[in-house]
Amino acid sequence: MSIRITDNAQYSSVIDNLFNIRKQYQDVMEKLASQKNINNISDDALGVTRVLGFKQTNQAIGQYQSNIDNTNSWLSATEGKLNNANDLLTEASGLAVSQSTGTANADTRKIAAQKVQAIMDEMLSLANSKLGDRYLFAGSRSDVKPFESVETAATIDEPMYGKANAYGGTVVKSGAYTGTKNNAYVLKIVDGGLRSAATYKISDDGGATWGAVSAPTDLDSDVDLGDGVKLTFAAGTFAENDLFYVNALVSGYYKGNDGALNVSVNKDSSAQYNITGEEAFTDKGDGSIDVFKALQSFKDALTDNNVDGISTAIGDIKKAQDQINLCTAKCGSRANRMEMAKNNLSELEFNMTSLISATEDADLAELSTTFSMKEVALKAAYEVASRISSNSIISFLK
Amino acid sequence: MSLSGLLQVSRNALASYQMAIDVTGGNIANVSTPGYSRQRPVIMATGDVQGGATNTQMSVEVTKVERFFDSYLEVQIVDQQQKAGYSETESSLLGRIELIFNETKGAGLNDVMGRFWGAWDDLAINPGGQVERDALVSASEELATRFNTMAADLQDIQQDANLSIKDTVSEINKLASNIADLNKTISERGNVSGESNRLLDERSEGLKSLSKLIDLNYVVDDNGALNVFLPNGKQLVTGNVAWELNFRNDHVVFGSSTESMDQILAQGDKGKLAALLNVRDENIPDYQGKLDDLAKEIITQVNNLHQEGYDAYQNTGNDFFVPAGSENIAKKMAVKSEIINDVNRIAASAVVSSGNGEVAQAISVLKDQLLMNSDSTTFGSYYGSMVGQIGRDVADANSNAEHQDTILTQLISHRDSASGVSVDEEMMNILKYQMGYNAAGRLCQTVNELLDTLMNMVK
C-alpha cells in the first residue's frame, strides 16, 4: 500500500520546512550582522571558553602596556633630572679645577662659593622634583619631600598613629637612632585590651614583615622598636590593629627611604622603575659619596680659601658624577627593559587578537554565499507554500 | 423474492450510502482537527441468496463505523511526547540562563573582572592618586553589582521554574481528571460501533497532552478504561477515578502525603515537570554554586591581602569587600561602605609609607594565581570554563530538543498517514458513495416501474 499523504501532514510539513529554512536564514543573517561565528555561548561552548581566555590575556596585556607607558614618563623624567644633576656637577667640577690653580685667590674663591651655593640650590630643587604629585627621588615615601637644604643629625620623628586607632592615650618616643638608613618602625596591637593585657608585634621594615607577638604587660614598660627607637605608652585601652609608627632618619639631607617602586610588566614579572634619592645622592649609593655633603664641603673650602679642601673636592665631585651617571645608566637599562617588555607584549597581543579573530570571527565570503543559498531556499519554500492548496482533486471535479 | 423486498433493498442501500457520505463528510469537516482519527463506514452485505423464487435477496448495511487507529504507534508517540516535553522545557529555560552568561558581545563579567584587576594595577603605580582610588572603587562596585545581578537573575529563573511546576501540577490534575471522566463515559457506552470514537480521540489527545507534562505509563483495561501510572507505580488515573498531585512547600507530593516526589519525577528525563525540577534543583543550584565559589574566593583573597596593607591613614587589618557569608555569596557581594565613603581607606601600601603600592600590585596579581578548583585554575579560566559548561548544557539541550522534536514529527506523520484525513481520498469516497446512492435511487425507480407494470397487468 502506498503511503497516504494527508492534508494535515502536508500542511505541517510545509510549515516545518518553512520554519527550518527561516531559522537557518536568521542564523546566517545574525552572523552577517555581527560578523561573528559565535553569537550565543551555546553556538560553540569550547570556542567561547577559549575566546574568554584569550580576552583575559588581552585585557591583562593592555594593562601591562598601560603600566609600562605610565613608568616611561617617570623614567624619562628621572633620566632628565639625573642628566641635569650631572651638568651641575660638571659646572662645579670646572669651578673646582679653576679655583685650585695658582691664579685663583681668596676673592675669586668667595665668588665661586656663591656659584656653588647656586649649584646646590639648583641640585636641591631637582632632587626634589615631582612627577604629578609624587617625588621622583623619595623612594616609596613619595609623598614626602626627600631632601632638606641643611644637613640634620640622626633623628627619631614624633610617633604617628593609625587614624582608626581605638587607643587615645599619649605615646612618647625616646632613644637615639642607631640605624644605618632612613626607616619606619611599626608597632601593631595583636590582642586588644587594657595596657597590661594587650599584646603587640613589631616591624622594623615599615610594616611589611613582623616579629614575634609580645607577652601581656610588655606595654607597661618602654617598648624597644629596634635600633634605639623606644616608645612609652600612657595607660589606656587598645584594640586589635591599633597602629603606631615612627620614622627614624639617619644624619644627612635625605628624608626619603630606599623603597623600590615596582610595576607588573608581564604575567609573574614585575620591574622596578624608580631611582631612590638614597642611591643617587647619598653615600649609600654605589659611589659612596653624598652629593650634597661634597658640594657643601667644596663650598666651605672655597669660603675658607682652603686649597687642599678644593683639591679633595675635585675628586669627590668626580665620584659624585660617576654615582649619578651610574644611576642614569640604571635608568636607561630599566627603560630598555620596559621597551623590550612592551615589544613582547605587542607581539603577544597581535597573536591573541588573531586567535580571537580565528575563533569567533565569521568568514564573510563564505557567509555571503551561504546567505544567497539560504535566500533561494527560502524563496523556493514560499513558492511551494503558495501552491499547496491549488493542487487537489477538488479543482478537477466539476 | 418480492418486489417490496427489492424496495427494502434499495431503502437499505440509500440509507447506508447516506450514512457513508455522512461519515465521509465528518472526516472532511475534521481535516485539520488535531488528534482526529479518520473513520470509515464498514459496509457489509446482508441476507442470503438461495435457489428458488421465494428466497431473500442480498442487501447492504453499515455494520459499524471503524476508527483508523494504531495503538502501537500511539505508545511510541506518548513516549516521544514525554521526551520532547522534557527537552523543549529544558532548552527554553536553559536558553534564558544562557543570556545571563552571554559573554560573546563583550561587556560581560569577564570584562568587568579584567577592569577590576586593572584598576588595582593602576593604583599600584600611583598609590596616592585620588583618581585611581575612585576608579578602583567604581570598578569594584561594578564587579560586585555584576555578581549581584547575575545571581539574582538566576534566582528569578529558579522562581519562575518553581511557579511553572505549580502550574504544571494543576494542569496535570486537570488532564488526569478529564481522562477519568472520559473513561467513565467510554466504559458506560461500551466500545462498540462508532459512537465512542470521538471520545477515544479526545482521550488519546488528553493522554498525549498529559505525557508532555509528566513521566507516565498507561494501560487500557478490559472495560476500555485508560489507566495511568506514575514511574513509581502510583496510580494517577484508575478507571473513572483520578488522584491528585499537589504542590506543597515547593515539592510535588502525591495526594495528601507530605513525602516529596521531586526526585522520582525528575529521574527519567521525561515530561515538562521533570525538566522544571531538574533545572530548578540541579542546573541552577550548580551554576549558583559556581558563581558563589568564584565570588567567595575573590572576596576572601582580596580581603586577605587588603588586611595586610595600610590605607592612606595608616590603618591596617581592614577588609575591602564585605566578608562572604555562607549563602547567596554572589548575590550579597559588596564593597565595604567605609571604602565607598572614603577612598583613602583603600589599603594599597605594604608599608606605612604611602608611596608604596605593593599590596595593590599583589591584589592585581591574584588574577594570575591558581586559586580556584583546589588551587588548580585562575579566576578567569574558572569563569571561562563555567561559561563553557553552561554553553555546552544549552547546546546539548537545544540539539536534544531538536532531535526529539524531529522524531516526534516523524511519528506524528506516521500517525497522520494511518489516521489522518486526506481530502483527495475523501472526495473519491464521496464520488463512490454518491454513485452507490444514485444507483440505489435508480433501483428504487426501476422497482417502482416494475410495480407499475404489475399493477397495469391486473387492470
Identify any residues that bridge with B40 across adjacent strands, giving them in sequence order: B66
- Contact state of A206 with B381 under an 8 Å Cβ cutoff: no
Mean pLDDT, residues A53-66 taken together: 92
* DSSP-derived secondary structure for B188-199: HH-S-TTTTHHH
Question: φ, ψ for residue A6 (rounded to 5)?
Answer: -90, 160
Q: How confident is the model at residue A348 (pLDDT cuts 50, 70, 90)?
A: very high
- Mutation target for B interface from A4, A23, A54: give the one with most B CBs within 10 A: A4
Q: Report helix, strand or coil for B215.
A: coil
* Cβ neighbours of A13 in B, within 8 Å: 413
Separation between Cα atoms, residue A364 and residue B3, nearest integer Å: 86
The CA-to-CA distance between both ends of chain B, in Å, stands at 23
Residue A182 to chain B, least CA–CA distance (Å): 12
Tracing cell 586559586 back to the chain, one arrives at: B371
Q: Chain B: residue nearest A244 by CA?
A: B314
Of the candidates B352, B354, B416, the beta carbon closest to that of A9 is on B416
Residue matched to cell numbers 523556493: A380
CA distances to A19, B65, B154, B189, B200 from B195, rounded to whole Å, are: 38, 8, 52, 8, 10
pLDDT band at A180 (very low <50, low <70, confident <90, very high): confident
Asked if A4's CB is within 8 angstroms of B425's CB, the reply is: yes
Chain A residues closer than 8 Å to B413 by CB: 9, 12-13
The residue behind cell 563583550 is: B106
Tens-place pLDDT, residues B41-68: 999 988 776 655 556 667 888 888 888 8
CA–CA min distance A138, chain B (Å) = 9
Contacts of A261 in chain B (CB under 8 A): 355-357
Q: How many CA within 13 A on the CB side of residue A120?
A: 23
> 3-state DSSP call for residue B254?
strand
The answer to whether the beta carbons of residues B121 and B387 sit under 8 Å apart is no
Question: How far away is chain A from the Cα of B419, in angstroms, using its nearest Cα?
Answer: 9
Predicted local distance difference test score (pLDDT) of residue B51: 58
Nearest Cα of chain A lies from the Cα of B29 at a distance, in angstroms, of 12
In terms of residues, how long is chain B? 459
Q: Which residue of A has its CA nearest to B369?
A: A268
Question: In the prediction, which pLDDT does B191 show?
Answer: 54
pLDDT value, residue B55: 61
Selected residues 70-109 of chain A with any CB under 8 Å from a CB in chain B: 70-71
- A23 against A9, higher pLDDT: A23
- Please indicate whether, in this complex, the C-beta atoms of A48 and B128 are within 8 angstroms of each other: no
The region that residue A241 occupies, defined by phi over 0 for left and psi between -120 and 50 for alpha, beta otherwise, is: left
Alpha-carbon gap, residue B444 to B14, rounded angstroms: 9
Which residues from A are below 8 Å from B350, CB to CB?
206-208
In angstroms, what separates the C-alpha of A320 from chain B's closest C-alpha? 27
- Name the residue facing A52 among B387, B392, B395 (closest C-beta): B387
Q: Do B114 and A60 touch (CB under 8 A)?
A: yes
Give the per-residue pLDDT at B57. Answer: 67
The answer to whether the beta carbons of residues B256 and B248 sit under 8 Å apart is: no
**Test mutation, B90, B356, B379, chain A, max A CBs within 10 A:** B356
CA B313 – CA B335 distance, rounded (Å): 19
pLDDT tens digits for A85-103?
Answer: 999 999 999 999 999 888 8
The per-residue pLDDT for B9 is 87
B24: which 3 cell numbers? 465521509
pLDDT tens readout for residues B154-193: 999 999 999 999 999 999 999 999 999 999 988 887 655 5
d(CA B388, nearest CA chain A) in Å: 5
Contacts of A134 in chain B (CB under 8 A): 126, 128, 355
- Which A residues in the span 341-380 are in contact with B, Cβ-Cβ below 8 Å? 360
Q: How far is CA B320 from CA A242, B231, B311, in A?
A: 18, 52, 11
Q: Do B128 and A133 touch (CB under 8 A)?
A: yes
Pick the residue from chain B with its C-alpha nearest to A142: B355
Closest residue, chain B, to A16 (C-alpha) = B409
Q: Establish if A397 touches chain B: CB-CB under 8 angstroms.
A: yes
Question: Is A398 an interface residue toward B (CB < 8 Å)?
Answer: no
φ/ψ of A388, rounded to 5, equals -60, -35
Say how far apart CA B186 and CA B328 lie, in whole Å: 54
Report the residue of chain B nearest A206, measured CA to CA.
B351
B104 and A38 in contact by Cβ < 8 A? yes
pLDDT at A267: 86
Please list, in sequence order, all residues whose beta carbon lies within 8 angstroms of the beta carbon of residue A15, skipping any fewer than 6 positions away. Answer: none
Confidence of residue B1 (pLDDT cuts 50, 70, 90): low
Q: What is the pLDDT of residue B222?
A: 85
User: What is the band of B2 on the pLDDT scale with cuts at 50, 70, 90?
Assistant: confident
What confidence score (pLDDT) does residue A115 get?
92
Distance from CA of B129 to the nearest CA of A (A): 8
Question: pLDDT tens for residues B249-301?
Answer: 899 999 888 888 888 888 888 999 999 999 999 999 999 999 999 999 999 99
Q: Residues of A with CB below 8 A from B95's CB?
A: 42
Instruction: Report the pLDDT value the prediction gives residue B66, as an integer from 0 to 100.
Output: 87
Neighbouring-strand partners of residue B248: B251
For residues A368-377, give the mean pLDDT: 93
Do A264 and B121 count as a contact with CB atoms less than 8 A apart? yes
pLDDT tens, residue by residue, A104-154: 888 899 999 999 999 999 999 999 999 888 899 988 887 788 998 888 889
Residues of A in contact with B424 (CB under 8 A): 392-393
Measure in Å the smallest separation between the Cα of A66 and chain B Cα atoms: 8
Terminal alpha carbon distance of chain A: 29
For A:178-207, CB contacts with B below 8 A are 184, 186, 188, 205-207
> Which of B38, B104, B349 would you mutate first to test chain A, the one with the most A CBs within 10 A?
B104
Give residue B354's pLDDT band: very low, low, confident or very high (50, 70, 90): confident
Q: Is the dihedral of CA B449, B453, B455, B459 positive or negative?
A: positive
> What's the pLDDT score for residue B207?
94
Sequence-ordered alpha helix ranges (H) in B322-422: 329-332, 337-341, 358-365, 372-375, 379-419
B423 Cα to chain A: minimum distance (Å): 7
CA distances from B151 to A395, B144, B314, B335, B349 (A): 61, 11, 35, 16, 33
> Which range has highest mean pLDDT (A16-20, A36-40, B139-143, B454-458)?
B139-143
* Contacts across the A-B interface (CB distance below 8 Å): 244
Chain A residues touching residue B96 (CB < 8 angstroms): none
User: DSSP 3-state assignment of B100?
Assistant: helix
Chain B residue whose CA is closest to A166? B315
Mean pLDDT of chain B: 90
| Closest approach of A296 to chain B, Cα-based (Å) | 29
Q: Is A288 left (phi over 0), alpha (psi -120 to 50) or beta?
A: left
Q: Provide the pLDDT for residue A392.
A: 79
Whole-angstrom Cα distance, residue B163 to residue B260?
Answer: 16
* pLDDT tens by residue, A200-229: 999 988 888 898 998 888 888 888 888 889
The identity of residue B247, as a single letter, is F
pTM strictly above 0.90: no
Q: Do B352 and A53 touch (CB under 8 A)?
A: no
